[in-house]
Amino acid sequence: MISDVRKVVIRKILIICQGNLCRSPIAEVECRKRLADRGLGEVIVDSAGLNTRDDLAAHPSAIDVAKEHNLNLDRHRSKMLTEDMVRWADIMFVMSPRQKQLLLNSFPYVRGKTFLLGREGQQIDDPLGLPRASFAAAHAEICDGIDDWLDRLFAMSRDSRPHVHDRS
């Protein structure tokens, strides 16, 4: 049986949330760490926000939660999502179905490379304005989602390089 499946190698990951202050910065540093742990430190990970101002520091609770997991967000500065970023990314992760729909409305060509980060497509709620425990819960959900995605990407690969199968 001949398959028309093409292998698409993932070299650039973009993680997107609303303000690039809480969830996506945590996901960015966690994803980098987990890729490095798998020997894939050369994969580039970046993050951005759909509705933010450039150059804002990560939320203090996000910084604290990251530090508890030996991650550093002290130098993080928010970035507003741009079309150049969208075109740059091989795969993009968002936190909610609404964010995915906003991306698809603005950039229809991202269908097929934009996914919910949460495990099995679950939404990861925004902890902004909520108690610190909500940041810890978001961190746990982010880690579960990253592990789930990396496991799926690696399961499809015999050469230990993350990739997705594109049947188009």
3-state secondary structure of 168: coil
166 found inside a domain: no
User: How does pLDDT run across 5-31, given as a tens digit for each residue?
Assistant: 345 589 999 999 999 999 999 999 999
CA 99, CA 93: separation in Å to the nearest integer?
10
**CATH number of 125's domain:** 3.40.50.2300
What Å distances lie between residue 30 and 6, 55, 95, 168, CA to CA? 28, 21, 15, 31
Query: Which pLDDT score, from 0 to 100, does residue 152 have?
Result: 86
User: How does pLDDT run across 39-59, given as a tens digit for each residue?
Assistant: 888 999 999 999 999 999 999
Domain that holds residue 61: 9-161
Catalytic residue, chosen from 17, 22, 31, 143, is 17
Tell whether the model's pLDDT for residue 168 goes beyond 90. Answer: no
Burial of 158 from C-beta contacts in 10 A (0-12 / 13-18 / 19+): exposed
Q: What is the pTM of this model?
A: 0.88
Task: Mark whether 32 is an active-site residue.
Answer: no
Count up the domains in the chain and report the number.
1
3 found inside a domain: no
Catalytic residue, chosen from 64, 90, 125, 126, is 126
45 found inside a domain: yes
146 found inside a domain: yes
User: How does pLDDT run across 56-103, given as a tens digit for each residue?
Assistant: 999 999 999 999 999 999 999 999 999 999 999 999 999 999 999 999
3-state secondary structure of 7: strand
Burial track 114-144 (b if 16+ CB lie within 10 A, e otherwise): bbbbbbeeebbebbbeeeeebbbbbbebbbb
42 found inside a domain: yes
Task: Mark whether 46 is an active-site residue.
Answer: no
67 found inside a domain: yes
User: How does pLDDT run across 89-146, given as a tens digit for each residue?
Assistant: 999 999 999 999 999 999 999 999 999 999 988 999 999 999 999 999 999 999 999 9
Maximum C-alpha span of the chain: 55
Catalytic residue, chosen from 22, 23, 31, 32, is 23
Which two structure tokens, joined as six digits, stand for 40? 């894939």
Beta pairing partners, 94: 116
CA 20, CA 99: separation in Å to the nearest integer?
13
Task: Mark whether 23 is an active-site residue.
Answer: yes
